[in-house]
Structure formats: C-alpha cells, structure tokens
Amino acid sequence: MLFSLTEQRSYEQILQRNYVLGRDFRVAFGDSNIAKCLLAAPHGGIEPGTSEIMRALAELGGWAWYEFAGYLRHGNKEALHILSTEFNEPTLLDLLRQAGLVVTLHGASEAGKPLVFVGGRFKFGRQVVIGAINGSKEGHGIVAIDATEDAATEQISGWQESNITNRGRRREGIQLEFSRKARNLLFPPNASREARGRRSARLRPLARSINRALRQLLSGRGE
C-alpha cells in the first residue's frame, strides 16, 4: 500500500480524470445497525476479494456496510485507489458521521502466508478480533497478527487519526488487511474476478469468527 505517483489523492481527482460512477466504479451501502457498526471496503475490485469478505460478514451479522468498487478491466489500482487517510467519497463521509465502531477491510501485498494484519486505534478491539480468528476451530486457515506491533507492518497499521478506520463516532476502529495468500485461500486459485464468484468453504468460518468478536465488542463488554 505504498503511495505511488499514479495513485489518486481524492474522490474529486477521480471524477476530474473522467471516470464515471456506475460505469467505471460503484458506490453501494446498507445502513442497518449503523449506530453500532459499519463495515467498509473502500478498495473493492482494486484489492481483490475485499468486497466479498465484507459482504459475507455484513450478511452474517446484519451490520451496516459500504463499498467502493472499481470495474475497469485493467488498472483499477492506478486509476481508482484512494489512500485510506485521504478517502473523501461523500457517501462514506456521511456514513462515518453516523457510525459507531468502524471496521475496514483491505488487501495487503505483504507476506507469502495466509495472514490478516489487524490494525486501527481500538487496541482492545484488535485483541478481541485476533483472539477470535486465531482461536477458531473451524479450519479457515488464516492467522491474525497485530499490525501495530512491528515496524515492518507500520504502513498498514491503520493508526493515523485521519484513516477512515478511526473516523467513526468513537474515533477508533479496526482495520483488517488480508494478505494475497489469505485471499487466494478464500477465493481459489488466485482471487481473480472470476474466482471471487467461487467462494471457498473457508470464507464463512472466517466471517463467523470475526462476527463473534464484533458481537462481543458491541455487547458492552468491549466498551
């Protein structure tokens, strides 16, 4: 997730470059239970598989959700990727003002292992999510690690106050960065656009483990 010269700095820049909502990219959301929790996939189709993981979790838990998804045949990252610290698409900004806990889902290129890097400013929330994923006995095959404890993962720690993860009403959220190998496990063989229509049996157990953590955090025990 390093910044590149071709990466967009704002939603307005995407529009100025003549990319069209509904043709080149999509914005979609559901606001049920938004006062409790909002799941957001701001790089759907740009970081393959992240929208699908988010939707599986939203369907299971009945959480509010948001998706910004690129539909270009090629070059979605270069054309449509906005940094999480700069993300200013108006629909999401409005949802963040209403949201309690914010959980964002991303794709990380780091690591040749099936990992999810758990970041964000909500320390107890990170701990609960990591415990739920790693303590699952359902065989999803993915290991969670704390992205805030290692200099090597600092860029995907989700620690900045300006990161959308931390811009809900509680001002601290949870960021989930799924390695490429983790996404390949969930959408074999390679998390391509075609493969994402063939979810593996690992996706639902993973979503259940994360949902258990969110239920615990939002029951009052994590407040």
Cis, bond preceding 114 (omega within 30 deg of 0): no
pLDDT of residue 4: 39
Q: In the structure encoding, which two tokens stand for residue 121, read together?
A: 């400013």
Percent of the chain with pLDDT over 70: 90
Classify burial at 110, counting beta carbons within 10 Å of its beta carbon; exposed 0-12, middle 13-18, buried 19 or more: middle
Closest CA to 171 of 74, 96, 93, 79: 96
Q: Is the pLDDT of residue 139 over 70?
A: yes
pLDDT of residue 223: 45
Give dist(CA 13, CA 4) in Å, integer. 15
Beta strands 115-119 and 143-146, pairing class = parallel
pLDDT tens, position by position, 2-25: 333 456 689 999 999 999 999 999
Instruction: State the pLDDT confidence band at 166, using cuts at 50, 70 and 90.
Output: very high
CATH superfamily of 11-221: Poly-gamma-glutamate hydrolase, zinc-binding motif (3.40.630.100)
Phi, psi angles (nearest 5°) of residue 168: -80, -175
pLDDT tens, position by position, 37-57: 999 999 999 999 999 999 999
Average of per-residue pLDDT across 172-199: 82
Instruction: State the pLDDT confidence band at 172, using cuts at 50, 70 and 90.
Output: very high
Q: What is the DSSP string of 1-54?
A: ----TTSBS-HHHHHHTT--BTTTEEEEEE-TTTTTEEEEEEEETTSTTHHHHH
pLDDT tens, position by position, 69-121: 999 988 999 999 999 999 999 999 999 999 999 999 999 986 689 999 999 99
Residue ranges of the domains in the chain? 11-221
Average of per-residue pLDDT across 169-175: 97
Give dist(CA 83, CA 81) in Å, integer. 7
**Helices in 25-167 by DSSP H: which ranges?**
50-61, 76-80, 90-98, 123-134
Q: How far is CA 60 from the centre of its chain?
A: 16
pLDDT tens, position by position, 207-219: 999 999 999 999 8
